[in-house]
Chain A
Amino acid sequence: MTYYTQTLKNRAQPTEQWITHIREHYPVESIIDETLTKKLRQRNNTAAHQTNFEHLEERLTRYIKTTTGQNDIGLTNLKRLSGGASKEQFTFDLDWIQDSGERATHKLILRMDPSESIVETHRLREAQVLQAMWGEVPVPKVFWCDPEKDNLDHPFLIAGFLEGTVQPEGGDKASGLGMYFEPALREALKDQFVQHLAHIHNVDWREKDLSAFDKPQDNSTEGNDWSLTWWERVWQEDAIEAHPIIENAARWLRDNLPITEKPVIVHGDYRSGNFMYTDDHQINAILDWELSHIGDFHEDLAYTTLKILGTPENNEVLTSGLMSKEEFLDKYQEMSGFTVDPKRLFYFEVLSYYKTAVIAVATSLRTSYSQKTHLDAMMNMISGFGYIGTSALQRLLDKA
């Protein structure tokens, strides 16, 4: 393999010295540092990702038997799920004795990391935030989590499988982007969509076990600094070509870092495609919490209302295909009790486009370049979404 520049070689074949340099220059939350450092160390040592799951059932059965101490569990119907862009997902039926002492069969979902993912995150962090949200907003129940790779060769999380619809009929879009909901369905879902986000932001995270999260101080830039540095670091680790617009955006974001008075739990990917609803139009699950962190509520608002995540209709773009941006923000203020600061919303809109570009241009192309995922073809395609994000980022910065 020929590398055009030394920087590209460093990224493709990271040395310990280069990894140390990156870690020192881009300090992030401790568990994110652990996750990203592990990714770099593995980059040299792992072959192309194998999509063969021939022995998965046997190994999964062994893991659950050991973890539960029950030798008579029944594991059947293991199937790979379609959809999603970051994790390999499987469903299976498990018959076992529950914590209540009752024997029952439940359909479960296994979320497993590929060798490198479009977003490299920590399964323990995802498990903790799901447990923190249990009883607050509708989320799947987490049963087991293994953030190491000893059992299935990849970190994973096992949760309850919920029946419902993520993509409405005919709304077959990559990762749920630009999804179309019929007007009647919109009316039924939109208040719930906003209400759940407002509730997430009002959960007192100090009362929850979130040991895998670093906690930013009140009235400081700390959480926002971590957020920006996370994506700066990912760009420096994963990009397969330099990009002056991305570099310039990082400079602007660094120069304009805002203070957050009261940090909240930020979902990090709150949009259509990441919630599920029942046949009677009730949202029964908020999904994909892997990017969650503690930060500024404007970060979720700005991300959720990004035009490129929305659905075009009648010369406007609907937030998550449900309502106008103005309606979304009005409802949010009413339901959350928080006041939206337009200047800070603008900052986080820039950050959200920056993050989108980093994920969809740098990491997606890095994973397919190295053949480290089960979705190589899709990862190449998603870069198209990333370049639209880069374009939107620049157009926004032109107004700054």
Chain B
Amino acid sequence: MSPEIEQFLSGMKKTIEEVVMPNLTDRFAQEQAGIVAATLGFLSTIQDKVFHYELLENQEYKNILRDVIATVESDNSLNKSLKDVVEKVNQHFQHDRADDQTAMRPYPFIRGSNEHMKEFLCEFIQLQPDMSGSVRDTFESQLKPFFSTLENRERSWVKGLGFDPEADQQPDINDLLYKNGYLIGSST
């Protein structure tokens, strides 16, 4: 189907920069138009990766939650609050299973599932004081590599917005999403 999204975006950006902005006299309007043009430029760089970004997060949240549940359930004296979160995650996994063909699902399904999983992980984090010492230690050690991957991916995603004083040290988002031409973590 044509034109591709990229073509729409670059057409709008060029029109704003070359036709609209030079003819604006109000400084506030010029400033806002510049921000719109910059946003369109940014969208051009990420629009073809959004689906895979969410798909990768879907896999990663399923993995971390599976690991966390195994850790939490190893505690024989698990309290009710933690048990409730475990139960909610297990119920969610009936809806979006680990072996589900998630890649064939519509985007809002994946995005919605991810949001639920993020909230579950946040609930576990809030309940850390309820965990026994060894369980909490293991939980923290599971979070560390997960957080590292997450912050790095998000930082690369927004690199094109131009705010990062250390952007030259930050990998491109392509390198964090794909390996050997495939989405990282995919079974291919």
Contact = CB atoms under 8 A, between A and B. Distances in A.
B32 A375 contact: yes
B157 A387 contact: yes
Nearest to B157: A387
B147 A248 contact: yes
A380 B152 contact: no
SS class of chain B's interface: helix, strand, loop or mixed? helix
A188 interface: no
List 4 tightest A-B contacts by C-beta distance, closest first.
Answer: A384-B161, A384-B158, A242-B118, A391-B155
A177 B163 contact: yes
A380 B158 CA distance: 11
Contact of B125 (A241, A247, A375, A390): A247
A339 B50 CA distance: 48
Nearest to A318: B165
A385 interface: yes
Given A244-B122, A312-B166, A383 B158 contact: yes
Contacts of A242: 115, 118-119, 121-122
Interface in A289-316: 307-308, 310-312
SS class of chain A's interface: helix, strand, loop or mixed? helix
A82 B32 CA distance: 9
A248 B143 contact: yes
10 contacts: A4-B112, A241-B115, A242-B115, A308-B164, A381-B38, A381-B42, A383-B158, A384-B161, A391-B151, A391-B155
B154 A5 contact: no
A1 B150 CA distance: 28
Contacts of A4: 111-112, 115-116
Interface string B161-186: 11111100000000000000000000
B158 A388 contact: yes
A166 B112 CA distance: 43
Interface string A341-357: 00000000000000000
B181 to A, nearest CB: 27
Interface of B: 26-28, 30-32, 35-36, 38-39, 42, 108, 111-112, 115-116, 118-119, 121-122, 125-126, 128, 143-144, 146-148, 150-152, 154-155, 157-158, 161-166
Contacts, number: 108
Contacts of B126: 247, 251
B130 to A, nearest CB: 12
A385 B161 contact: yes
Contact of A307 (B128, B152, B161, B166): B166
B127 to A, nearest CB: 10
A18 to B, nearest CB: 15
Given A244-B147, A383-B158, 4 more contacts: A241-B115, A242-B115, A244-B150, A377-B35
A279 interface: no
Interface string A369-384: 0000001011011011
A251 B124 CA distance: 11
B170 to A, nearest CB: 9
A377 B151 contact: no
B32 A394 contact: no
A308 B163 contact: yes
A391 B154 contact: yes
Nearest to A361: B154
Contacts of A395: 151
A243 B122 CA distance: 7
Contacts of B164: 308, 388
B28 A82 contact: yes
Contacts of B128: 251
A391 B116 contact: no
A178 B163 contact: yes
Contacts of A317: 165-166
Interface string A311-345: 11000010000000000000000000000000000
A97 to B, nearest CB: 32
A243 B161 CA distance: 21
A80 B161 contact: no
